[in-house]
């Protein structure tokens, strides 16, 4: 095996992936013992492999997604949905950039929700990071997409389930529901059909421990775009 | 695994090796030790056997070099080490008392957990490896975890990513290049 052949055939990667026949493996070993460039390539690859085998490439924390329909339309409490955020279709986004990116979540549409989103499947949903009211000004939710995903920075330690109420600032209840508490470090995601929201309104999403209604974990304020 | 200083495998290198120059001896045993570990781990299941084979290879290579006073073609040192290792492995295979075939239902110990060593990564390097891997994009971490940690079937991984096997190698190639950059960047700090 020549160096050109080794590079062209991604021999180093095939070696790591254990995809070579015995003859190919012998030929590549004969080559990399003689080629400092390929030797270094194999050594680095093996080190990366060993790191991965040692568990140094953990998965992102799993986020909990709660979906809901408006109180007036709801026929049954929607179950919380656990989303395993595979990289090619979703991202549990770093907090600092989450507000500027779109997160794609598997969204199980409710049959009672009309509109083009009712066919279920995977959707790109604009995501907005919300922090408790005392920690910042109210961000603005765009109503241009069928859904808005709110990623709530919540400290849910000690709670197994969270309950939430979405109200207009004047106090009118839009909806309420509950979902499983996210693991430490992961956001609590609430996906809202935007048709339930009015433009240029201020809303408050209150989150509390579902088992202790007195334990309010945070009030999250947001406004809607014109 | 710090970046090793580069040496030309030439007559001078062989001469210094035969003369037991500490710098060259250290380089020789580290450079070829790593390569032998990679080669032998797929052929010998026991880490102890891998270590035995490495040491036996070193002894034979150095003995031969000292006896002959060098190599006719010094630049073929790597090929020479590889051929000696092949002979050592062959002899181990033939030695039924040292290498016993494993039963089909043999339950190989799970070596995936942190702390499992296969030869290259020593304690002081683990931090840098961990940091370098932590810096990879999540998609590449996921790929490495699926393939190497979870041991998922590669065809299944390809289906999930909607790529073919060749492109899986390309993804691994990119991850490796990124890992290399970060790993040596960590070393520089």
Is residue B124's pLDDT more than 80?
Answer: no
pLDDT single digits (tens) B52-100: 999 999 999 999 998 887 788 888 899 999 999 999 998 888 876 545 5
The number of helix segments (H) and strand segments (E) in chain A equals: 5, 11
Q: Cβ separation of A50 and B118 shorter than 8 Å? A: yes
Q: What is the average pLDDT value for chain A, to the nearest integer?
A: 72
The token pair at B79 is 């090929």
Condensed to tens digits (0 to 9), the pLDDT of residues A132-156 reads 765 556 788 888 877 788 888 888 8
> Which residues on chain A are in Cβ contact (under 8 Å) with B115?
54
A57 with B121: Cβ contact below 8 A: no
Collapse the DSSP code of A126 into the 3-class scheme (helix H, G, I; strand E, B; otherwise coil) and give the result: strand
For residue A125, what pLDDT is reported? 60
Interchain pair B133, A51: CB under 8 A: yes
Which of B65, B82, B83 lies closest to B74, judged by CA? B65
The pLDDT-based confidence of A8 (bands split at 50, 70, 90) is confident
Q: Which residue has the higher pLDDT, B113 or B40?
A: B40
User: Does the structure show a pLDDT above 60 at A89?
Assistant: no
Question: Is residue A163 pLDDT above 60, yes or no?
Answer: yes
pLDDT band at A93 (very low <50, low <70, confident <90, very high): very low
pTM above 0.80, yes or no: no
Residues of B in contact with A62 (CB under 8 A): none
Residues in B touching A41 (Cβ below 8 Å): 176
Q: What is the DSSP string of A39-78?
A: HHHHHHHHHHHHHHHTT-SPPPPPEEEEE---TTT-SSPP
CA gap A114, B83 in Å, rounded: 71
Alpha carbons A183 and A180: distance in angstroms, whole number: 9
Cα three-residue angle A152-A156-A157, rounded to 5 degrees = 150
Predicted local distance difference test score (pLDDT) of residue B93 = 84
For residue B109, is pLDDT > 60? no
pLDDT at residue A62 in the model = 53
Instruction: Determine the pLDDT at residue B36.
Output: 94
Task: pLDDT band for B128, please (50, 70, 90 cuts).
Answer: confident
Spatial neighbors of B2 by CB under 8 A, at least 6 apart, are: B125, B187
Task: Name the minimum distance, in Å, from the CA of A5 to any CA of chain B.
Answer: 15
Q: Is B150 on the interface with A (CB under 8 A)?
A: no
What distance in Å separates residue A36's CA from the closest CA in chain B? 9
Tokens of A20: 């070579």
Provide the ipTM: 0.82
Q: Contact B129/A60, CB-based, under 8 Å?
A: no
The C-alpha atoms of residue A212 and residue B26 are separated, in whole angstroms, by: 65
Please say if the pLDDT value at position A217 is more than 90.
no
At residue A127, the 3 state secondary structure works out as strand
Terminal-residue alpha carbon distance, chain B: 15
Residue range A41-61: mean pLDDT, rounded: 85
In B, minimum Cα distance to A54 occurs at B114
- pLDDT computed for residue A126 by the predictor: 59
Q: Categorize the per-residue pLDDT at A104 as very low, low, confident or very high, splitting at 50, 70 and 90.
A: very low
Sheet with A63-67, edge to edge strand ranges? A81-83, A63-67, A188-193, A147-152, A122-130, A102-106
> A120-134, A165-179, B28-42: which has the minimum mean pLDDT?
A120-134
pLDDT at A45: 94
Instruction: Using pLDDT thresholds of 50, 70 and 90, give the confidence band for residue B112.
Output: very low
**A-chain residues within 8 Å CB-CB of B42?**
18, 25
More confident residue, A81 or A160: A160
Report how far residue A207's alpha carbon sits from residue A103's, in angstroms, rounded to the nearest whole number: 21
Beta carbon pairs, A and B, within 8 Å: 144
Residue B118 pLDDT exceeds 80: no
Question: B interface mutation test: which of A50, A88, A93, A185 has the most B CBs within 10 A?
Answer: A50
Rg (CA), chain B: 20
B16 or B189, higher pLDDT? B16
Going from the C-alpha of B93 to that of each of B53, B57, B61, the distances in angstroms are 11, 15, 20
For the sheet containing A161-168, what is the strand order? A140-141, A212-224, A202-209, A161-168, A173-180
pLDDT at A19: 92
For B152, nearest residue in chain A (alpha carbons): A17
Cα-based angle A81, A83, A84 (whole degrees, multiple of 5): 150
Q: What's the pLDDT tens digit per position in B138-188?
A: 889 999 999 998 889 999 999 888 888 989 999 999 999 999 999 888 666
User: Is B152 within 8 Å of chain A by CB?
Assistant: no
* pLDDT tens-digit map of A10-31: 999 999 999 999 999 999 999 9
Find which of A46, A59, A61, A186 to mutate to test the B interface (most B CBs within 10 Å of its CB).
Answer: A46
Residues of A in Cβ contact (< 8 Å) with B121: 47, 50-51, 54
pLDDT, residue A65, reads: 56
**Which tokens go with A207?**
């989150």
Written as one string, the DSSP assignment of B80-108 is HHHHHHHHHHHHHHH-TTT--PPPTT---
């Amino acid at each position: 095996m020549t160096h050109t052949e080794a590079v062209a055939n991604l021999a180093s990667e095939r070696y790591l992936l254990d995809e070579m026949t015995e003859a190919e493996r012998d030929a590549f070993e004969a080559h990399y013992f003689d080629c400092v460039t390929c030797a270094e390539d194999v050594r680095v690859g093996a080190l990366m492999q060993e790191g991965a085998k040692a568990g140094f490439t953990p998965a992102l924390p799993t986020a909990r997604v709660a979906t809901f329909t408006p109180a007036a339309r709801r026929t049954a409490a929607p179950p919380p949905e656990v989303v395993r955020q595979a990289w090619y279709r979703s991202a549990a986004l770093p907090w600092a950039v989450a507000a500027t990116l779109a997160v794609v979540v598997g969204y199980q549409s409710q049959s009672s929700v009309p509109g083009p989103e009712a066919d279920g499947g995977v959707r790109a949903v604009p995501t907005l990071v919300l922090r408790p009211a005392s920690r910042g000004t109210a961000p603005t939710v765009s109503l241009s997409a069928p859904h808005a995903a709110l990623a709530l920075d919540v400290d849910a330690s000690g709670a197994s389930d969270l309950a939430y109420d979405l109200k207009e600032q004047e106090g009118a209840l839009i909806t309420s529901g509950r979902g499983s508490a996210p693991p430490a470090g992961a956001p609590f995601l609430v996906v809202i059909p935007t048709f339930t929201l009015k433009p240029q309104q201020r809303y408050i999403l209150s989150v509390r421990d579902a088992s202790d209604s007195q334990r309010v974990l945070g009030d999250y304020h947001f406004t809607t775009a014109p | 695994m710090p970046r090793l200083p580069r040496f030309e495998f030439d007559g001078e290198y062989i001469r210094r090796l035969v003369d037991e120059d500490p710098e060259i001896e250290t380089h020789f045993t580290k450079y070829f030790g790593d390569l032998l570990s990679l080669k032998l781990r797929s052929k010998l299941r026991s880490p102890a056997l891998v270590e035995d084979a490495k040491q036996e290879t070193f002894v034979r290579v150095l003995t031969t070099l000292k006896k002959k006073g060098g190599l006719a073609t010094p630049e073929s040192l790597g090929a020479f080490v590889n051929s000696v290792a092949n002979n050592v492995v062959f002899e181990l295979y033939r030695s039924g008392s040292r290498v016993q075939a494993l039963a089909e239902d043999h339950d190989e110990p799970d070596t995936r957990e942190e702390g499992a060593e296969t030869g290259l990564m020593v304690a002081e390097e683990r931090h840098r490896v961990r940091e370098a891997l932590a810096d990879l994009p999540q998609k590449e971490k996921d790929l490495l975890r699926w393939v190497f940690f979870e041991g998922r079937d590669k065809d299944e991984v390809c289906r999930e990513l909607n790529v073919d096997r060749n492109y899986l190698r390309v993804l691994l190639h990119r991850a490796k290049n990124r890992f290399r950059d970060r790993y040596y960047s960590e070393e520089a700090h």
